Structure 1
Amino acid sequence: MLVQFILRNIVLQLFRTLHRTRQQVFKNDKRALEAARVKINEEFKKNKSEASPEKIAEMMKLGSDVELLLRTSVIQGVHTDHNTLKLVPRKDLLTENVPYCDAPTQKQ
């Protein structure tokens, strides 16, 4: 009983995390926000009655991977002209620019 309670809390935490990430990644894009909300809710409802801890752990891993992918890899784009797209990266995606070095380092 206690294991089910703990597992339920972990699942709910992932559910909330996915929705928070969705709100950050698709900010100001109503259509994408709604589509992501529907997909997240649909997947959790579809597997609501799953009882196997192994299967739940597998789905939790998939959900965590999806959240990481959304948070680290998705950049919004806004159409400015017919053939122009303006990228709108989030601050957490921007990293310091590391200079490129043509000369390979010598191994000792």
Structure 2
Amino acid sequence: MATGNLRREVLNSFKALHKTRLKVFDGDMRALNFAREKINESYKNNKNITEENIITEQLALAKAVEVEMRTTIVQAKEVKPGVYEAKFNPETVKMDNIPFNDSETEIEFTTKRKGNKVEITKKNVGCCQQQGQST
């Protein structure tokens, strides 16, 4: 490796990935072990890289992976048949969720502008499997 600062950054990224792994997969030994093996394998495979620009690219990738792990992984555990309990981290990105409605599997929206107002019309078009079938 070219410089001491770069070496320190690589070590810090390695540690950050492992800390994130411990936090995200807390209590899931299978996932903890798998993630540990993958992180260690990745760093071991890249340990002979000496070009600074490639090392910098790999550090950016490691940071992106660490952020992705912190913000998108959710643990779910089956508490009884068909019922799951989800464990979210404070950093987990949450998006709006619309409850599934079996009768509205495909919806078509149309919009019409009237002056400053917008009129939105919703039309059920049925399931794609129902199309082409005579009822």
Instruction: State TM-score, norm by structure 1.
Output: 0.79
Residue 91 of structure 1 aligns to a residue whose secondary structure is coil
Measured in 2, the distance between the counterparts of 1:74 and 1:52 equals: 32
Q: Provide the C-alpha distance between the structure 1 equivalents of 2:20 and 2:71, rounded to a whole number of angstroms.
A: 10
* Identity score, percent: 35
Equivalent residue number for residue 83 of structure 1: 82
The structure with the largest alpha-carbon Rg is 2
Give 4+ residue runs of structure 1 displaced > 3 Å after superposition. 91-95
- Offset of residue 83 of structure 1: 2.5
Deviation at 1:93, TM superposition (A): 3.2
Whole-Å separation in 2 of the counterparts to 1:45 and 1:63: 14
**CA–CA separation in structure 2 for the residues paired with 1:85 and 1:62:** 32
Q: Which has the higher strand share?
A: 2
If asked which structure has higher relative contact order (CA below 8 Å, sep 6+), I would say 1
Which residue of 2 is the match for residue 31 of structure 1? Answer: 30
Tell me by how many angstroms 1:5 deviates.
Answer: 1.1
The DSSP-based 3-state class of the residue aligned with 2:22 is helix
* Larger helix share, 1 or 2: 1
What is the TM-score when the length of structure 2 is the normalising length?
0.64
Report Cα offsets for 1:36-91 as digits up to 9, x if no partner.
Answer: 00000000000000011111111111100000000111111102233232111123
Query: Is residue 41 of structure 2 the alignment partner of residue 45 of structure 1?
Result: no
RMSD: 2.1
Cα distance in 2 for residues equivalent to 1:45 and 1:94: 31
CA–CA distance in structure 2, aligned partners of residues 65 and 52 of structure 1: 20
Structure 2 regions of 5+ residues with no counterpart?
Answer: 95-115, 117-135
Provide the secondary structure at the position in 1 that maps to 2:80.
Answer: coil
Q: Could you tell me how far apart the structure 1 residues matched to 2:38 and 2:48 are?
A: 17
Q: Distance between the aligned counterparts of 1:84 and 1:19, measured in 2?
A: 30
- Whole-angstrom CA distance in 1 between matches of 2:11 and 2:90: 27
1:94 Cα deviation from its structure 2 partner: 7.8
